[in-house]
Copies of this chain bind each other. A is one copy, B any other.
């Protein structure tokens, strides 16, 4: 691993973000990344966060058109309520703050407590839970579906609405619509290595796949011997389409988990498009790359979001963050 010591991995990364991105204000001590121009007058604030190890999610999505602040926890561990409340206070312009919360037990509890803390300080808070992963219903870390790739769609699209000046209820409603319109499925070809453990977080024999893996290496639906990229696309897309039956075009995120070469990920994107074509689903936009990762896990996930014209317009709206950037 490219680290100093496991204990400083998150702080070291935040120092690097501060060095590389002068547009961001990085509070290394409290592990919060904030838009430098926050609070933006008359704008609803968007705050997210979660365990580290999923970069660029969430800190890499802070900037105009997306998040106002992100809180970084230890690797694969929720940040604490004080961070989230502090972030809310830093970005609130008086029009309220939306918390974007991935559905993991620790995150849900901590964001709930943070909302109470923030409201005690006079910040109006709404929350949206992201629970898009169709692989399992409940797991060691989760009640209900896990929150994975759809987080990017929620943060981008709700972020665009907030940037346009939409009120808190509207930003919350759009975030909820995006989550309800999105489903994901992930596949591991290898396990991630956490700094603390120094080795793989689970045992996946060479030549086997974990179908339905979570972004912390949580178990999925089943293990199989190696499949082709095309077979994996069939399996993943069909799993998503069992839950999401789009009657219009979709946004597609073809996401790398960390160690899958972009060359292979583009080949997988071709197969995802092939399957969607065969199932009669039109693709309006496709994003290919490592966006919601699991350290150095080899593997990929597919997230589809049924997007009406308004969601598509907000998706295309300008954004300027380290991880996503266009139109400005």
Contacts and interface: CB of A to CB of B under 8 A. Distances in A.
Interface of A: 1-5, 8-10, 12-21, 52-53, 55-56, 60, 75, 189, 228-230, 232, 254, 258-271, 273, 283, 286-288, 290, 293, 295-296, 298-300, 320, 322, 325-328
A264 B1 contact: yes
Contacts of A15: 267, 270, 273
A232 B265 CA distance: 29
Contact of A259 (B16, B259, B265, B320): B259
Contacts of A259: 258-259, 296, 298
Given A259-B259, A260-B296, 7 more contacts: A2-B300, A13-B266, A17-B266, A20-B254, A53-B261, A263-B295, A325-B325
Contacts of A230: 4
Given A2-B232, A4-B230, A268-B2, A261 B19 contact: no
Contact of A229 (B12, B269, B322, B326): B12
Q: In the assembly, how many copies of this chain are there?
A: 2
Contacts of A14: 266
Contact of A228 (B3, B13, B326): B3
Q: Which A-B residue pairs are the 7 nearest by beta carbons?
A: A12-B267, A16-B266, A16-B269, A15-B270, A259-B259, A16-B270, A55-B262
Contacts of A283: 19
9 contacts: A2-B265, A5-B228, A12-B270, A13-B266, A15-B270, A19-B270, A20-B254, A55-B266, A262-B290
Contact of A55 (B53, B261, B295): B261
Contacts of A273: 15-16, 19-20
A16 B268 contact: yes
Contacts of A288: 16, 20, 322
A132 to B, nearest CB: 20
Nearest to A55: B262
Nearest to A10: B263
A101 to B, nearest CB: 21
Contacts of A267: 2-4, 8-9, 12-13, 15-16
A188 B298 CA distance: 18
A298 B3 CA distance: 12
Contacts of A53: 261, 263
B20 A266 contact: yes
A326 B325 CA distance: 6
A295 B268 CA distance: 15
A199 to B, nearest CB: 10
A188 to B, nearest CB: 11
A131 B27 CA distance: 39
A189 B2 contact: yes
Contacts of A260: 2, 296
Contacts of A21: 286
Nearest to A322: B288
A66 to B, nearest CB: 14
A283 B265 CA distance: 33
A53 B3 CA distance: 25
